[in-house]
Structure 1
């Protein structure tokens, strides 16, 4: 009997245990979102009652809308800034301050959220006193704070993709007379598109999930979804939260599946193009 055949059952068991550990709580949450009882852990009967309660809760819907808007805008800006930063680090070679720039770019990855939130709060307060802007803390300050720490994650993802990129096609295009900017948008960006999508999804998730930093930099007029959920849970677990979490899991699952299919298609197309180019 071969060694892989001997280990195969154990691999299946470990994989099954891992999936149960990760996804069993989510499945349980979705099941209990259809529970008609007001007690989260006591099953009564199947019902859509808590979904109706959720859609009638204007405060929670407002928090969801605000969080999704901030997350989308922060992820988009983080991709733009992260791409620029990654290109500077990978393509511009060594320059004065290169090490410091790389260190400061990745510092938010290891910085505690409490320190990041407090430092941004002090910055916004100092700017308001010195410049009169921002006058109020709210959606804008949360967005700026999320862009700050999401950019670091996006830059790391795109940095890794740029380092393993074959530059022969880019060099050939420049030899044929293409401007560097045109080469970047026509060749480089489509090639690193999977990394851009991955970075955007990562930044979107981090922004949507943030509680600590948003709590520091927000004002009384802006409440994000994690803040609303945390305030609700402190008063007791509400079955309405189960319904909300189930809808978020559904949306995230659909978006993740679509992104995975698109990235897999682009990767297969890229491999086919490389093989054709080598045969040619």
Structure 2
């Protein structure tokens, strides 16, 4: 009994250290999440009375053809972005992390250079992208015209529905891939040197070491990267908003769920389109949160199965 009391007293200081962070998390994460859930069953313009409408907002989202088309187009763009993250960005992150882990020549310099784009704000990245890829005055088109390409044949880049999305993915890779790369690199550095040395004694080359020793051991780090990619892909807003405007371009090529949420919650930016409905916007947020939970749960389940099979 005395040992239990002493143990409880011993851990009590740690609770006090955790308390400020816990209060902050509850105040700015849990409480708004609960409030958003209840608001999704109401109608409110932000200043008047909050009126309960039941499932009307959900009906408005999924049964209204125009709203459903806008939401599923935006959600489809989010899914495409996540798939690009998984099949393009993650392999680049893993490959880059392994090169730095192998301590290639000037690896410290390259690590610093990879981190450089991350310190730039999204506004700066979007500004430079506009300077380079603007159809009228962009540097790329000016170079193409100077090389003899007819002015009528130069690409529209950000104004072209076939090119805008690849440009967005390229900018995302350049600006944010370093975080996942650093997570994977730190996981690689945690791999046991004894295991690697044993594989070298067995005659395993670098490729086999990577495939059969390093890759299975960095599972937790890879899981974190994949979960972060889902969250980032679903919550994407600032970069496409700055590149294509409130509606994600003329045909919605760069329209994402959070941009639709923003238009609904705060208006589209024009005086004629200030149809603010925070209840309907909260519904979009609630549905998106449910999708995030489903995707992350399925991914964790799949990764858990893969881990069991590997064992």
TM-score (norm 1): 0.80
Report the equivalent of 1:126. 139
C-alpha deviation, 1:133, in angstroms:
5.6
What is the RMSD computed on CA atoms of the aligned residues? 3.2
Deviations 1:125-161 (A, max 9, x none): 4334445567425222222222222311111111111
Residue aligned with 1:115, SS: helix
Deviations 1:250-276 (A, max 9, x none): 122233345556778888999xx8xxx
Residue aligned with 1:50, SS: helix
Residues 126 and 242 in structure 2, CA contact (< 8 A), matched pair in contact too: yes
Is 1:88 the counterpart of 2:95? The answer is no
Report the equivalent of 2:147. none
Report the equivalent of 1:25. 32
C-alpha deviation, 1:79, in angstroms:
1.1
Name which of 245, 252, 269 aligns with 2:292.
252
Cα pair distance change 1:71/1:9, threshold 3 Å = closer
Is 1:172 the counterpart of 2:198? The answer is yes
Q: Matches of 1:269 and 1:212 in 2, distance apart?
A: 40
C-alpha deviation, 1:115, in angstroms:
1.0
Mean Cα deviation higher: 83-92 or 251-260: 251-260
Report the equivalent of 1:278. none
Residues 51 and 243 in structure 1, CA contact (< 8 A), matched pair in contact too: yes
**Matched ranges for 1:57-206 at <5 A:** 57=67, 58-93=69-104, 95-96=105-106, 98-124=107-133, 125-130=138-143, 132=154, 135=157, 136=160, 137-206=163-232
Deviations 1:200-252 (A, max 9, x none): 22233234333332234444332222333323323324422111110111122
TM-score (norm 2): 0.73
Q: Matches of 1:200 and 1:110 in 2, distance apart?
A: 22
Residue aligned with 1:165, SS: coil
Cα pair distance change 1:7/1:175, threshold 3 Å = closer
Task: Tell me the number of residue pairs that the alignment of Structure 1 and Structure 2 aligns.
Answer: 268
Structure 2: runs of 5 or more not aligned:
145-153, 268-273
Name which of 259, 283, 289 aligns with 1:227.
259
Mean Cα deviation higher: 23-32 or 109-118: 109-118
Q: Matches of 1:109 and 1:200 in 2, distance apart?
A: 19
Name which of 4, 8, 21 aligns with 2:10.
4
Q: Matches of 1:12 and 1:105 in 2, distance apart?
A: 34
Cα pair distance change 1:128/1:166, threshold 3 Å = farther
Q: Matches of 1:101 and 1:77 in 2, distance apart?
A: 20
Residues 162 and 192 in structure 1, CA contact (< 8 A), matched pair in contact too: yes
